[in-house]
Amino acid sequence: MSNPANGYKSGSNLEKLLRAGHFVVTAEIGPPQSADPEVIRRKARLLRGVVDATNITDNQTAIVRMSSIASAVLAMQEGVEPIVQMTCRDRNRLAMQSDLLGAYALGVRNLLCLTGDHQGFGNHPTAKNVHDLDSIQFIQMVKEMRDEGRFQCGDPIKGLRPCFFIGAAENPFADPLDFRPYRLMKKIAAGVDFIQTQIILDIPRFRDFMKRVVDMGLHEQVYILAGIGPLKSTGAARYMRDKVPGMRVREEYVERMEAAVAGIPKEDKQARKEAWEREGIRIAIEQIQEIREIPGVAGVHIMAIEWEEAVRPIVEGAGLLPRPVVE
């Protein structure tokens, strides 16, 4: 098809590992709110050899940060394969396609197509949003660029096509709940290759979602990576439970985080922090072990937000090191 030389769609490490049937591990790097390349380099070094590829977020929560494509290049220089996230919020179809050509030319091979958080949440709430395309139309555009060699308007791409391994997000916990597997089905119809889910803090509900996905046969058409979000404190667990749209947090996690610091005086901040982090990592490891057994799950995506140090102990604790190598 697009890359006849090797038979892969993109030839990325992530694609090769998934195709070979390995249980993959991805993580996430949040670019800095500055022009400092060292932030990306440091985070990338923490993840090198620990995960198979790393998402680079695109102005996440609508806060301006270093460009995900530029950050991806820095991550590659540190030996980490990036998954560039791109939202429909900030770019129209011209800007998206132009950035995709540029990203591919710079060596990016994995892309995550997102709608994007509303700008009202971020630090520029008076901005105009774009949403020229939605995430499903975005997937379709990237697939057509890769497989048909044409731009969204239908014009041919003259020369090298951008051949991305195409990802998207899915939130098994958002409403209307019954529509979620259908939304996944639409993303598959549009041409998605892999899915990373929202952070799972309600495993029974995720299990129900996956049962429907498997019953519909969708897991055979797309690789599904389950979202793991290690908790950093009781407050973080409560915040996710109460404040993050589309999140569901089972009470047991809030209680476990609270119990982790029982008996430690409030003044001993360092001891509380360490106890919380130990428990957060322990929960994440248990979750991976449990989720791994759910039919249809092809890997995990660890979102340790501003806590990249947690990824290695989680992956190690879950028995997923060393990472496999595929030629």
Partner 1 sequence: MIVGEQKPLEEIMNLLGDARRVLVVGCGTCVTVCFAGGEKEAAILASALRMKSQLEGHPMEVDEVTVQRQCEWEYIDPLADRLKDYDAILSLACGIGVQAMNERFPESITLPGLNTTFLGLPEEHGVWVERCQACGDCILGLTFGICPIARCSKQLLNGPCGGSQNGVCEVSSDVPCAWHLIWERAIQFGQVERLLEVQPPKNWSRSRDGGPRKIVREDLRLPEKA
Q: Determine the size of the site formed for partner 1 (CB under 8 A).
A: 37
- The reply on whether position 190 binds partner 1 by CB under 8 A is yes
CB of 294 to partner 1, least distance (A): 20
Six-digit token string for 295: 């039919």
- The reply on whether position 136 binds partner 1 by CB under 8 A is yes
Pick the closest to residue 10 from 161, 141, 233, 152 (CA basis).
Answer: 161
Are residues 153 and 161 in contact, defined by beta-carbon separation less than 8 angstroms? no
CB of 309 to partner 1, least distance (A): 27
Please identify, using beta-carbon distances, which residue of 46 and 88 lies nearer to partner 1.
Answer: 88
Please identify, using beta-carbon distances, which residue of 174 and 203 lies nearer to partner 1.
Answer: 174
- The reply on whether position 303 binds partner 1 by CB under 8 A is no
**Interface residue with partner 1, options 102, 120, 235, 295 (CB under 8 A):** 120
Which helix (H) or strand (E) segment is 159 a member of? none
Are residues 137 and 192 in contact, defined by beta-carbon separation less than 8 angstroms? no
- For Cα atoms 162, 72, 135, give the angle at the middle one, nearest 5 degrees: 60
Stretch that binds partner 1, among 54-62, 78-86, 134-142, 291-299 (CB under 8 A): 134-142
Peptide bond preceding 181: is omega within 30 degrees of 0, i.e. cis? Answer: no
**Interface residue with partner 1, options 94, 105, 189, 325 (CB under 8 A):** 189
Six-digit token string for 135: 């995430």
- The reply on whether position 147 binds partner 1 by CB under 8 A is no
Please identify, using beta-carbon distances, which residue of 27 and 136 lies nearer to partner 1.
Answer: 136
Are residues 293 and 260 in contact, defined by beta-carbon separation less than 8 angstroms? no
- The reply on whether position 212 binds partner 1 by CB under 8 A is no
Alpha carbon dihedral 240, 28, 103, 139, in 10-degree steps, equals -50
Please identify, using beta-carbon distances, which residue of 79 and 120 lies nearer to partner 1.
Answer: 120
- The reply on whether position 21 binds partner 1 by CB under 8 A is no
Pick the closest to residue 300 from 49, 71, 53 (CA basis).
Answer: 53
Q: Which residues pair with 301 in a beta bridge?
A: 26, 227
**Chain residues 67-106 in contact with partner 1, contact rule CB under 8 A:** 88-89, 93
Please identify, using beta-carbon distances, which residue of 2 and 171 lies nearer to partner 1.
Answer: 171
Are residues 218 and 188 in contact, defined by beta-carbon separation less than 8 angstroms? yes
Q: What is the DSSP string of 3-14?
A: -TTTS-SS--HH
CB of 137 to partner 1, least distance (A): 5
The residues binding partner 1 (CB under 8 A) are 88-89, 93, 115-118, 120-121, 129, 131-137, 140-141, 152, 169-171, 174-176, 178-179, 182-183, 185-186, 189-190, 198, 245-246
